[in-house]
Amino acid sequence: MNIVRHVLFGALALAACSPTPVAPARPPLEGARIGGPFTLTDQDGRTVSDRDFAGKYRIMYFGYTFCPDVCPTDVQAIGAALKTLEASDPAVAAKVVPVFVTVDPARDTPPVLKAFVSAFHPRMVGLTGTPQQIEAVKKEFAIFSAKGDPAPGGGYLVNHSRQTYLMGPDGKPIALLPQEQGPKAVADEIKRWVR
């Protein structure tokens, strides 16, 4: 009987140490009312809609290029996670489009976005639009943002929520990505859900 217990305990201990993430039966954001149709302008000045991403998983992050610390750190983690996946799991990485949507359309013009997103990943898409278009897409994705205090040296800060969504090929939400935990955590969560 002791041998059986030791074998069972050993098997449980090994299972607990497994480095491969195991997907729960259902995505954590399944059924959430997050996401929806949008029409915006990309970093090359082209009109882009949610339909342009149909059939692809997408990472949706909302921020602004003049952000002094949080946005660059988060977007760097997303870009580095994709580069890691391109090296280890290229088929998975190829199915994912990273998307950065500005919450500061007054300053984040297409050329400004192009310089920003290209610094983090060559396939990252930057999206901007009119203030009304940005407000509409923020509402669809449950994003808060508001102009904040003046920044040191001029300009202003923008207070905003910083959740990062992994959306499915059908445009439905799957999970939140833990960009605040770094590239490995983001890559692991992407591998958990992308099929």
Q: For the segment 172-189, what is each residue's pLDDT rounded down to a tens digit?
A: 999 999 999 999 999 999
Q: What total of structural domains would you count in the chain?
A: 1
Q: How confident is the model at residue 21 (pLDDT cuts 50, 70, 90)?
A: low
Q: Establish how many alpha carbons lie within 13 A of residue 167's alpha carbon, considering only the half-sphere containing its beta carbon.
A: 26
Enter the pTM of the model.
Answer: 0.86
**58: closest CA among 18, 99, 2?**
99
Q: Does 149 reside within a domain?
A: yes
Q: Which residues are annotated as a binding site?
A: 67, 71, 160
Which pLDDT belongs to residue 158?
A: 95
Q: Does 72 reside within a domain?
A: yes
Q: Does 78 reside within a domain?
A: yes
| CATH number where 36 lies | 3.40.30.10
User: CA Rg, the chain, in Å?
Assistant: 19
Q: Which residues are annotated as a binding site for Cu cation?
A: 67, 71, 160
Q: Which domain holds residue 182?
A: 32-193
Q: Does 183 reside within a domain?
A: yes
Q: Does 151 reside within a domain?
A: yes
Q: Does 24 reside within a domain?
A: no
**129: closest CA among 153, 102, 163, 111?**
102
Q: Which residues pair with 61 in a beta bridge?
A: 100, 164
Contact 170, 58 (CB under 8 A): no
Per the model's pLDDT, the better-predicted residue between 84 and 151 turns out to be: 84
Distance CA(81)–CA(84), nearest Å, equals 5
